[in-house]
Structure 1
Amino acid sequence: MEEVVLRLEELRFPSIADVVVLSVAVNDEAVHIEARSTVAGAICPGCGSW
């Protein structure tokens, strides 16, 4: 199981820019991936402001 977790921690999200995987937890029912953005902010899709 530890090998699976180590491999999952190497996950990258190529279709989502500026994301880093922080942790991965695996049990018999689910895989929980904690990720965060590496940028300080983003553009609002509604108004276009930062």
Structure 2
Amino acid sequence: MACLFVMPRDLMEAATIDGAGHLRAFRLIQLPLALPAISSPGILTFLVT
């Protein structure tokens, strides 16, 4: 889950300025950007087993 720590802070700052809370910013910005890194190990594990 290191991908969540290397997200650009500019995106989170822009979301805060636009009025998004922490949960909404996570759901609409961080999660879609991190989804490939989160789902890839699961897909590869499924294919290998």
Report which of the two has the higher share of strand. Answer: 1
| Structure richer in helix, relative to its length | 2
**Normalising by the residue count of structure 1, what TM-score does the alignment of the two structures yield?**
0.29
- Higher RCO (CA-CA < 8 Å; seq separation 6+): 2
